[in-house]
Amino acid sequence: MKKYSNKIFFLLLTCSILVSCNDDFLDIVPKGSQVAGSTEDYDLLLNNPTYYFHSTGGWQAPRWMGDEIAADAHDVYSYDIQAKLLFQWEDEIYPTEDDRAWDLRNGLSRVYTLNKVINQVMGAEEGTEAEKMALQAEAKSNRAFEYFQFINFYAKPYSASTASSDLGFPIITTPDIYENNFTRASVQEVYDFIIEDLMSSIEYLPMERSFNTRFTKPATKGFLAKIYMFMGRFDEALPLLNEAFDDLSSSTNPPSLYDYNVEYAAGGSFLPISPYDGPNGPGNDPYDFQESVLARVCYSGPYSGNGAGNEGLVLSPEAASLYESSDLRLNVYSDTYGDYSLDINPNGVLRKYGILYTRYGLELSELYLLRAECKARLNDLSGAVADVKFLREKRMPVADAEVPASIVSDQVGLIKFILEERIREFATEGYRWFDMRRLSVDSNTELANTVKYTHNLYDYVDGETVVLETFTLRPERLTLRIPQAYIDQNPNMENNP
């Protein structure tokens, strides 16, 4: 981060001054004002931390909605009311007295600026045509990334049979803050918009960047493949995943997986393991991008006024049972309370104390798991086994990393195992919520049935662990309601049920 010039800090300060907290969709800067003048200005603008680090928003909300979590009432059950509303899958998750729609508010702010870049960079001063095209392509890729979050928060999961009629999200391509006549495009139209942004960007993007926070060819190809997988178009996703890996292998400084067998051994970089804060690993370092194909980071620690905190958020017993005892990913979990007392939690639940920062852009580990699932879906079972085994060998002793022999020739069993590996790799970090949505409409009933629809609130009473309350997820709450303030500002917009 120290490499940024003073010029970017001026731009960031300017942007911060211009950002408004009004609930209007695009009430951010005066109409027609420029965010930059020269090509270099636009380049520096895309280095803005708003695109890759979020103290509010990001995947703070999805962390509380996945079916792999539970909550521990004794461990505060969060200081933040929104966390409770999310965990209980309530209809209204944004407290009326305190609008916490950070994901929407901040995302729309970024879309506004990205639209400025897309529409104006080709007329920037200085710079070559190729440099301007690359910046425009990068802004489009960033816009596609924002819309992927919008459509997976505020619209139904993609289903080819209903996507053309399901309500999606407004498609905004011009930076006009005075417009308040937004209507919701269909889910299909939004996915088509995302795909067009990404496909039209690939040829103009560089193969690699100095910073993993910037879009590149392999990052865009990998992300487009993920979009296709969320649409069930696995045959279109796999070639892109292969190309992304090929591009990374030819890069001079590609991301690489940490080998936990090395990093947790004597002298390893993840040591020491603090009894209070967990390992000295990337989960506690927001600027460790070694495994990031595209770095996007959001804060996932205790509540301090900056979004839903993690107090009381624990791994469900069913999810905990997915880990082998030798799995070194267990080192980021603790069986103590989160109050720094180091008291052992008698409920027997694990909290993820070694991940204060969630990476949710495109991690190399996810790229391997996406390709493994894609291969399994297309019946390349040996290829799928090879990809998931490669990741597992970096996370546990090699002798324990084998895929169970009973499923290596069982297509559905192998896909389930890969989906469980996604839980083992990303539990409590929001990934599962997105998987639940796409799996809920999977044409394979066995895979659709892997989605669980209950959350348990645990406590310890009279020497026994008890379930105080169970909350049930209704299918319509796989889609969040848009905050009413935004609906009120746009009279032609319909809210979700």
Q: Which residues pair with 132 in a beta bridge?
A: none
Assessment of whether the complete model's pTM goes beyond 0.85: yes
Contact (CB, 8 A) for 463 and 456: no
Q: pLDDT, tens digit, for every residue of 78-90?
A: 778 889 999 999 9
Residue 388, exposed/middle/buried by CB under 10 A (0-12, 13-18, 19+)? buried
pLDDT score recorded for residue 378: 98
Between CA 282 and CA 292, with CA 288 as vertex, the angle to 5 degrees is 100
Q: pLDDT, tens digit, for every residue of 25-46?
A: 554 443 444 457 899 999 988 9
Q: Hey, what domains does the chain have and what are their CATH numbers?
A: 6-258+361-450+478-489 (1.25.40.390)
Residues of the chain with pLDDT under 70: 1-35, 97-98
Look up residue 243 and give its two tokens. Answer: 């190309």
CA–CA dist 493, 456 (Å, integer) = 35
How many Cβ atoms sit within 10 Å of the Cβ of residue 159? 17
CB environment 162-171: b (16+ within 10 A), e (fewer): ebeebbbbbb
Q: Specify the DSSP class assigned to residue 402.
A: P
CA–CA dist 79, 64 (Å, integer) = 13
Q: Specify the DSSP class assigned to residue 425.
A: H
CA–CA dist 234, 197 (Å, integer) = 19
Q: Which residue matches tokens 């301090």?
A: 304
Q: Which of 148, 211, 174, 275 is nearest to 2 (CA)?
A: 211
pLDDT score recorded for residue 24: 52
CA–CA dist 191, 156 (Å, integer) = 12
Q: Which of 480, 482, 487, 478 is nearest to 66 (CA)?
A: 478
CA–CA dist 181, 165 (Å, integer) = 20
Q: Which residues pair with 334 in a beta bridge?
A: 351
Antiparallel, parallel or unpaired: β 333-334 and 313-315: unpaired
pLDDT score recorded for residue 95: 76
